[in-house]
Amino acid sequence: MPTFIESLNWSGWLLSLVDIAIVAYGFYRLFKLIRGTRAVQLIKGIIIVLLAVPVSQWLHLKATHAILQDIQAMLIVAIPIVFQPELRRALEQLGQGRFLGETPLLMPHEEVDMNHVIDEIARAAEHLSRSRTGALIVIERQTGLREYAATGVPLEAMVTAALLENIFVPNTPLHDGAAIIRGERVVAAGAFLPLTDSATPGSELGSRHRAALGLSEQSDAAIVVVSEETGTISLAVEGHLNRRLDDRSLRELLGQLFRARTHNPLWIWQRGFGR
């Protein structure tokens, strides 16, 4: 027969295991919540700053260490502000009972033939340009676009030129929104994008171009825009709008963007944590 003291020890171990399991599961659900969103890139930056603090101290870089310590202190105030959308979504899911189990909107990234995807997008853009049909096609790169895809209609369909052309048929429910592509799939259509706050775009740019610039300023996505008025094809990347493209130049620019990603020495870090 176990003594009373032994029973207390076993109960203590059991409670400790339950405690650790609850905390671990909480972190796991939080990671699932931010996975595929812009918050992942912010977390990477925070991790780099936190790692740089002891490294600068070890190297006796006094000025650098002092600045990094000040930045570290500011992060305590900045984190709740920076991650306000994710914290709000977590609380909403907790209140709705979905925090304990949620199916992610975007599926894990797979190795895909981006040449095929680029070819289908370029063909669709060319056909839409000829018919002067407005279109907004977003191609996700490293920064997750889950929050924007959630504003649209989930599709999870293979990327084809025919599908993209049908999405943007005028006077249909998905025509005015954006189609978001991840890997070989159109994950959502009819999605809403943030408009640019920059005063650079001229008055001749419509809402599609401003939305493309707005998203390119907040992520590394490549956004293809087809003007409804002129049929002009444009590509927005990193806050810059490449205008008056043809089928060939669009393929070349998109090919350069995605080849640069696979040759990036930090791509494994970006892909492994960002997805």
pTM: 0.63
Per DSSP, what are the bridge partners of residue 189?
153
State whether CATH 3.40.50.620 applies to domain 114-274. no
pLDDT given at position 205:
73
pLDDT interval class at 84 (50, 70, 90): low
Longest dimension (CA), the chain: 87
The whole-angstrom separation of Cα 44 and Cα 24 is 20
Q: Of 72-76, 160-164, 257-261, 263-267, which range is least confident?
A: 263-267
Q: Of 59-63, 156-160, 253-257, which range is least confident?
A: 59-63
Q: Of 88-92, 106-110, 205-209, which range is least confident?
A: 106-110
Instruction: Give the DSSP H/E element, type plus range, for residue 217.
Output: helix 207-218
Query: Which residues are CB-contacts of 65 (< 8 A; sequence separation ≥ 6)?
Result: 53, 56, 57
Task: Choose among 239, 264, 46, 48: nearest CA to 142.
Answer: 264
Phi, psi of 260 (to 5 degrees): -60, -35
The whole-angstrom separation of Cα 252 and Cα 257 is 9
Region at 23 (left for phi over 0; alpha for psi -120 to 50; beta for the rest): alpha
- Name the residue type at position 207: S
pLDDT given at position 249:
92
The whole-angstrom separation of Cα 115 and Cα 262 is 13
Per-residue pLDDT tens over the stretch 153-189: 999 899 999 999 999 999 888 888 999 999 899 999 9
Per-residue pLDDT tens over the stretch 96-146: 455 455 444 434 444 567 889 999 999 999 999 999 999 999 999 877 788
Q: Is-contact 173 191, C-beta < 8 A? A: no
The pLDDT of 45-74, averaged and rounded, is 83
- Name the residue type at position 64: T
pLDDT interval class at 267 (50, 70, 90): very low
Task: Choose among 152, 140, 162, 146: nearest CA to 254.
Answer: 140
| Sequence spans of domains, the chain | 4-96, 114-274
The whole-angstrom separation of Cα 262 and Cα 275 is 15
Per-residue pLDDT tens over the stretch 132-151: 999 999 999 877 788 888 89
